[in-house]
Amino acid sequence: MLVLSPAMAYLVFASLTLTLAALNLAFQNRSLQLHKYHYVGLDNFVRLFSDQRFLNALRVSAYWELLTLGGTFLIAIPVAVFLCERVPRRYQNPICLALMFPILLPRVSVGLIWRFFYAPTIGLVNFPLTLLGQRPVDLLGSIYSALAAVAVADVWQWGLFFAVIILKLLGTLPAAQIEAALIDGARLWQKHLLITLPMLRGALLTMAFVKAIESLRSFDLIYTMTNGGPGIVTETIDLYAYQVGINLSGRISYATSMSLLLLILTIVVFTVLWRTTRRLAK
Amino acid sequence: MTIHRDSSRAIPADRRLRATLGQRSATFLGVFLLLLVAVFPILWTFLSSFKTERDIAVRIPKLFFEPTLSNYLTVLNSQDVQTGLINSAIVVGSALLIGVVLGVPAAHVLARYARRIKDDAQFFVLSIRFTPPVAIALPAISIFQWTSLTDTLLSVILVYSLTTISTLIWLGVPAFQDVPVELEEAARLDGLSSWGVFFRVALPVAIPSLVGALLFTFVITWNELLMALILTSKNTTLPVVAAGFTTLGMEVPRGLINASAILLALPPLLLIGLVLRFIDGFLEKKS
């Protein structure tokens, strides 16, 4: 028991201190530059819900969750099924190695790589357009495509990574059981949709759960690719909290109240999904 | 079309033998496209990091060009990047060391002696891993202001240690659970102390899984941006320096940005083979 204590003591001490500090800050009107501050009660939280920029950030975060979570599985499942059915086992591992590259990259590098890719006039994405004599498009600069363009980079990382995991999970399923369950004449997609994927539902839900929470913290990718722009079209909650608390105005109390709401949101997602995963996995 | 439908009924091994030329080339094309999507963006940036600014700023992308090392030389000679590199090494190294020294023995205790609180402890540890970084760093900055630790490496190390300890406990518990209990009991009967059991029996058996956990922890701390960005301003880490190239409104040449993106990505990418082996082992155990 003695060995357990230093590690756990540090974790408990730090999370208690941080929670107390966060609560304390959220009820003040402290800013980083000024030394005078006082308690303002629930003012910060009240103000949040009439702050158009915050409501925008909530909306953007919700879209972002949907785009990245949906996109990831839309890519991962078909890719995994394709590799499982068509590629012999001994070739699967080198392919997996290549598919793992994107997820290991630092998000900052991913942001820089895709920014270069999307760059107007010199970016590769625009090369086919300029070849046809069209005007180059600035996907990250347009209010219609910016969020989706950043989401592509996220799905590039997570979709391919989850494809590897699903492929490996498919490989661990007992073949005899699948054959037995296989109704004669079932098509390939029927086999996977009706038999193998339901067998993996516990694991798939855990993955969705991990991805949902990872998506709530995509600051680094969005920051390097658009910095919330154009305007505030891609500004998620953590981005806005950073802008308010550190970068633009240093209103750390207001930013902290925002991050507390983000924390509550995470806890809700975490608890709901944790419970559902547990129940459905049984 | 009939061939196609027939083949999907057969068991996979059979079908592969009967795969027609058309099917095989379709598979080949599919795999090729997949690999292209996965690797090409990285490769393109890698290639462009050896280009001069004149070779980058062209409408028709150049595949053949005279490679130059000047981007890397400029980046590596820049004071910001040098400081960032050294700071990253210090911060990630210290946080990992703290994580290993405190977290790994704690994982062993949780897996072996503290069965009753294990689930609650695992939930607690996991919830730290999932706390939004901004909700950690903002209150942390007020604490560090109060203790005059703002903009120091120590402040980043203290915060990163939360990540490393919790991640190593979270992944270390299953690793130690896989060590046969009989092995540890036999060692105890032979008169080993609990430290002896840990160092001479449990640790050597669990080490392959623990290395995987350590790699994972290294990758997430090396790649971290937001907390370092909030906690430091001058005395900062490599991801913050690299991200600053695009957001500070400076006119940084593309070649330099590409070179620093590759430089930052190099350490995690070098570990890719080991990471894949770890995933294999992890999934094998689960099934």
Distance CA A169, CA A129 (A): 40
With bands split at pLDDT 50, 70 and 90, how would you rate the model's confidence at B8? Answer: very low
Q: Do A106 and B226 touch (CB under 8 A)?
A: no
Closest chain A CA to residue B226: A220
In a domain, A22, yes or no: no
* Residue A32: pLDDT band with limits 50, 70, 90: confident
Q: Which of A173-182, B239-248, B251-260 has the lowest mean pLDDT?
A: A173-182
Phi/psi at A74 (5° precision): -60, -30
**A20 belongs to a structural domain:** no
Q: Could you tell me which residues are beta bridge partners of residue A39? A: A28
Q: Is A6 a domain residue?
A: no
Is residue B124 classed exposed, middle or buried when 0-12, 13-18 and 19+ CB atoms within 10 A define those classes? Answer: middle
Q: Where are the domains of chain B?
A: 2-71, 77-286
Which residues are registered as beta bridge partners of B221?
Answer: none
Residues of B in Cβ contact (< 8 Å) with A77: none
pLDDT (tens digit per residue) in A173-229: 887 777 776 666 667 777 788 788 888 888 888 888 888 888 888 899 999 999 887
**Residue B248: pLDDT over 80:** no
Nearest partner of A222 among A241, A207, A208, A209, judged by Cα: A241
pTM over cut 0.90: no
- The interface predicted TM-score of the complex, written ipTM, equals 0.86
Residue A55 lies in a domain: yes
Using the Cα atoms of residue B27, residue A194, residue A271 and residue A51 in order, give the sign of their dihedral. Answer: positive
Q: What is the CATH number of domain B77-286?
A: 1.10.3720.10
Work out the pLDDT band at B4, boundaries 50, 70, 90. Answer: very low
* Distances, alpha carbon A7 to alpha carbons A1, B108, B127, B159, in Å: 11, 12, 15, 14
Calculate mean pLDDT across residues B72-79. Answer: 88
What are the structure tokens assigned to B185, written together? 């009991």
Residue A30 lies in a domain: no
Whole-angstrom distance, CA of residue A104 vs CA of residue B279: 13
Instruction: State the nearest Cα–Cα gap between A106 and chain B, in angstroms.
Output: 5
Least Cα separation, residue B201 to chain A (angstroms): 17
Average pLDDT of the residues in B96-114: 90
For position A109, what pLDDT does the model report?
94
- Give B197's pLDDT tier (boundaries 50, 70, 90): confident
Residue B272: what pLDDT?
Answer: 77
Which tokens go with A83? Answer: 């590799």
Helix (H, G, I), strand (E, B) or coil at B26: helix
Closest residue to A117, CB basis, from B41, B114, B136: B41
CA-based nearest residue to A218, from B133, B237, B128, B236: B133
A110: nearest Cα among A156, A163, A72: A156
Domain membership flag for residue A110: yes
CATH number for the domain spanning A48: value is: 1.10.3720.10
Query: CB distance A245–B230 less than 8 Å?
Result: yes
Q: How many domains in chain A?
A: 1
Quote the domain boundaries for residue A208. Answer: 37-281
Residue pLDDT, tens place only, B20-59: 788 888 889 999 999 999 999 999 899 888 988 778 877 6
* pLDDT(A122) > 80: no
Beta-carbon pairs below 8 A across chains A and B: 254
Q: Are A1 and B93 in contact (CB under 8 A)?
A: no
Cα angle value A271/A273/A278 (rounded, 5°): 95
